[in-house]
Amino acid sequence: MINQTLERLRAMRLYAMTDACQYQAGQPDITSLSFEERFSLIVEHEWTDRQNRHLRRLLRDAHFRIPACTEEMDYHPARGLDRSFMLSLATCEWIQSHLNVIITGLTGCGKTWTACALGNAACRQGYAVRYYRISQLLSDLAISRADGTHSKLFSSICKAKLLILDDWGLVPCTQAESREILDLVEERYNASSCIIVSQLPVDHWHEVLVDPTMADAILDRLVHSSYKISLRGDSMRRLKSPLTPDAGSKTAATKEC
């Protein structure tokens, strides 16, 4: 009878329950537990397995640039990060309220890492997340217009509860690209959230959007409903480099010789 039950569990794709049943069958002292306790353990095993598989799928589909998590956040005073504020963002209540986060700072100060850490927290809360460098996003949308898949791609991006746009303002946008961004921001406004990562302070964002009318429309929908994080300090890449400050120059000098 147990073999028949296991086969039916596999047929229903309840693989974790199958494993739990087999495990219990091999435990001689399992009879000390009541039927309700044993059944609860089996169901809990299936539930945990499904939750873990769902999280792995969310993390895979997010395409994060960096595997980061909020528990490893560096709160050195020089960085300008407030611990209590970041912990509040990690609860993802701002996503429930359809708010945004803008992260600015110089190259290497940890903007992308911070954005990916908040995205990781969102995945663990069950939210669908998508990470894009803005240049890649615009390129994918342009290609999808050419091959007839634009509507499908645009819809999938809009369905993500959190959209992370990295390298915002790195190069000026054309009028067509500004139009694409406006359509995306408008579709997501008051329905989902964004994290915008940029080297440029918000005051300079108008300069990279060619059409001033569209720039006003885009920023009006993003900036006024956003928490703002301004990172400071030296480049984290330099600080975490395995080379000492003098090692790079010594290596260069050796190569020159």
How far apart, in Å, do the first and last CA atoms of the chain sit? 79
Of residues 104 and 108, more confidence is placed in 104
- Is the pLDDT at 219 greater than 60, yes or no? yes
Residues 6+ apart with CB under 8 A from 127: 58, 92, 95, 161, 162
Residues 6+ apart with CB under 8 A from 141: 150, 153, 154, 180
What pLDDT, on a 0 to 100 scale, did the predictor assign at position 181?
94
Report residue 160: phi and psi, to 5°.
-65, 130
Is 205 within 8 Å of 219 (Cβ atoms)? yes
Report all structural domains of the chain as residue ranges with CATH numbers, in order of start.
Answer: 2-61 (no CATH), 63-239 (3.40.50.300)
- Is the pLDDT at 109 greater than 60, yes or no? yes
- Is the pLDDT at 179 greater than 90, yes or no? yes
What pLDDT, on a 0 to 100 scale, did the predictor assign at position 177?
93
What distance separates the 2 farthest-apart alpha carbons in the chain? Answer: 79
Of residues 99 and 1, more confidence is placed in 99
What pLDDT, on a 0 to 100 scale, did the predictor assign at position 247?
53
